[in-house]
A = this chain, B = another copy of it.
Amino acid sequence: MRLTTKGRYAVTAMLDLAFHSQIKPVTLTDIAARQTISLSYLEQLFARLRRAGMVKGVRGPGGGYKLCRKTSDINIADIIAAVNEPLDSTKCGGEANCQKDQACLTHDLWMGLSEQIKDYLKSISLADLLEKNQVQEVAIRQHHDAQQTIEIYRHQD
């Protein structure tokens, strides 16, 4: 589980999509403008997200992208994993000599931690983040943004 700006872009874009794709598909051009991410970079990210079965592209006028699943069924770990390379990270692979090695002992510790982080991120869904935001919005800002969030939240259900 790697956590870089690339993953952040992906999650940000997916959040934006979740916000706006309730009625009709959202174009990458729109997301690019709102989130100030270059269109071509978004295309790369969404190509991976599509291959991972998280979003669906709709071609032609009025087209764009929409989510394949409910926001509550899309977790953060999957989004990040989708845009990153598989990441072996083992360095010792399945080598036999590694069993009794001190190095691999420490390696196991890291792997364990990595799994913990992954599980943690798997437990957080897009819906969780959106909901959390809704609460924050209503509490802190109370203007049209909040209203919009509530609208979306209703559609989501």
The reply to whether A124 and B129 contact each other, CB–CB distance below 8 Å, is no
The reply to whether A89 and B1 contact each other, CB–CB distance below 8 Å, is no
12 contacts between A and B (CB under 8 A): A3-B3, A8-B110, A11-B113, A15-B109, A16-B106, A19-B102, A19-B106, A35-B103, A36-B103, A100-B143, A117-B121, A120-B120
Q: Which residues of B contact A132 (CB under 8 A)?
A: 109, 112
Give A residues with C-beta under 8 Å from B: 1-5, 8, 11-12, 15-16, 19, 34-36, 76, 89, 91, 100, 102-103, 105-110, 112-114, 116-117, 120-121, 124, 129-130, 132-133, 136-137, 143, 145, 149
Q: Which residues of B contact A124 (CB under 8 A)?
A: 113, 116
The reply to whether A117 and B15 contact each other, CB–CB distance below 8 Å, is no
Residue of B with least CB distance to A33: B103
The reply to whether A102 and B12 contact each other, CB–CB distance below 8 Å, is no
The reply to whether A129 and B109 contact each other, CB–CB distance below 8 Å, is yes
A12 in complex: contacting residue of B1, B5, B107, B137, CB < 8 Å: B107
- Give the residue among A89, A109, A137 with the most B Cβ atoms within 10 A: A109
